Copies of this chain bind each other. A is one copy, B any other.
Amino acid sequence: MEDVSRNNRGLALNTATLGHNIPGAGAGWSPERTIDACAERGINGIVFWRREIESSPARVGDYARAAGVHVIGLCRSPFLVGPLSLRNPLQITDDFHRSIDQAAELGAEVLTIVVGGVQPETKGVSESLKIVADYLSHAVPWAAAANVRLALEPLHPVYGGDRSCLTTTRDALNLCDIIDSDILGVAIDIYHVWWDTDLPHQIARAGNRIFGFHLCDWLAQTSDILLDRGMMGDGVADIHGISAAVRAAGYHGFSEVEIFSANNWWKRDPREVLDVMTKRFHTAC
């Protein structure tokens, strides 16, 4: 067991991989049971979703740390723009602040930001990205005071309309340049950016602004654009190449496995999922 534990250092579970984020689906495990299952396998990082920890963030964070598991992140900010965001800007700001506060209470190092889609009554992404920049510039001091870093996650362009007008690492870094804060960086998620031939250049440009690195795969013939992500090695993404670029840029943090898979991995025994992702971390990443 000791050898396995040492081997898996630097591997993190995003709890979405066990299907937690859909009520009634997936493992249905408590945060504590999930933490224990990670610790048993030497998976020494974990990322929660707000709904899982919001009743007792500090207690869950303490439990993880006592088990030797780092809480490396919390998913996620509210949508800041787009058809799925709250209607009232004050509500959005309040919920953005609350998500930062929850990350702080949990002791999570990073809050992931998913910005939301195209703002209603506008066309294209430019105006929406300007609104996002406004929200970010106001949230950065709040996050700095809470000692939480913010990771902008560009999502795959298929979500451009509703979930994220931010679709490339280039655009995420452009936002970082505008805001110009040490606590604002990017998350690189293979599922979202694997197709982008500009990615190596943008990863090098990011340098120490990479705050998160998400492992998964893009299935060649994906059946669902939300809930059919692949386990590392089962798809067509160049995981080795992207991982090498991220390391070369200076990122030495965790590799976080985040797989939404309603019809495959979420239907399996969560212990099997953890075992397979641990194995693939070594053979396919």
Seen from chain A, the residues whose Cβ lies within 8 Å of a Cβ on chain B are 82-83, 117-118, 122-126, 129, 156-158, 160-162, 165, 167-168, 170-171, 174, 194-198, 218-222, 225, 235-241
Q: Which of B197, B235, B238 contacts A168 (CB 8 A)?
A: B197
The answer, among B129, B170, B225, B238, for a CB contact under 8 Å with A158, is B225
**B162 in contact with A218 (CB, 8 Å):** no
User: Whole-angstrom distance between the alpha carbons of A220 and B236 in the complex?
Assistant: 27
User: How far apart sit A118 and B198, CA to CA, in the bound complex (Å)?
Assistant: 17
Interface of chain A: mostly helix, strand, loop or mixed: loop
Is B157 within 8 A of A221, CB to CB? no
Q: Measured between alpha carbons, how far is A214 from B82 in the docked complex, in Å?
A: 25
Contact pick for A197, options B118, B125, B156, B218, CB 8 Å: B125
5 more CB-based (< 8 A) A-B contacts, given A160-B218, A161-B236: A83-B220, A124-B237, A124-B238, A157-B196, A161-B218
User: Does the CB pair A161–B118 fall under 8 Å?
Assistant: no
Instruction: Name the residue of chain B whose CB is nearest to the CB of A117.
Output: B220
Expressed in whole angstroms, the Cα–Cα distance for A194 and B165 within the complex equals 11
Contact partner, A240, options B118, B123, B156, Cβ 8 Å: B123
Q: How far is the CB of A95 from chain B (nearest CB, A)?
A: 21
Q: Which residues of B contact A237 (CB under 8 A)?
A: 123-124
Nearest CB in chain B to that of A217: its residue: B123
Question: Number of copies of this chain in the oligomer?
Answer: 2
**Shortest distance between the CB of A108 and any CB in chain B (Å):** 30
B161 touches A126 (CB 8 A): no
Query: How far does the alpha carbon of A212 sit from the alpha carbon of B37 in the complex, in Å?
Result: 55
- Contact (Cβ within 8 A) B194 A124: yes
Complex-state Cα separation, A165 to B170, whole angstroms: 19
| Alpha-carbon gap, A123 to B239, bound state (A) | 8
Write the nearest CB–CB distance from A123 to chain B, whole angstroms.
4
Q: How far is the CA of A232 from the CA of B237 in the complex (A)?
A: 33
**A122 to chain B: closest residue by CB:** B236
Q: How far, in whole Å, are A152 and B237 apart by their CA atoms in the complex?
A: 23
14 contacts between A and B (CB under 8 A): A83-B220, A123-B237, A123-B240, A126-B197, A157-B157, A160-B195, A160-B218, A160-B236, A161-B219, A161-B220, A161-B222, A161-B235, A162-B221, A168-B196
Q: Known contacts A156-B157, A218-B161, A220-B83: does B236 contact A123 (CB below 8 Å)? A: yes
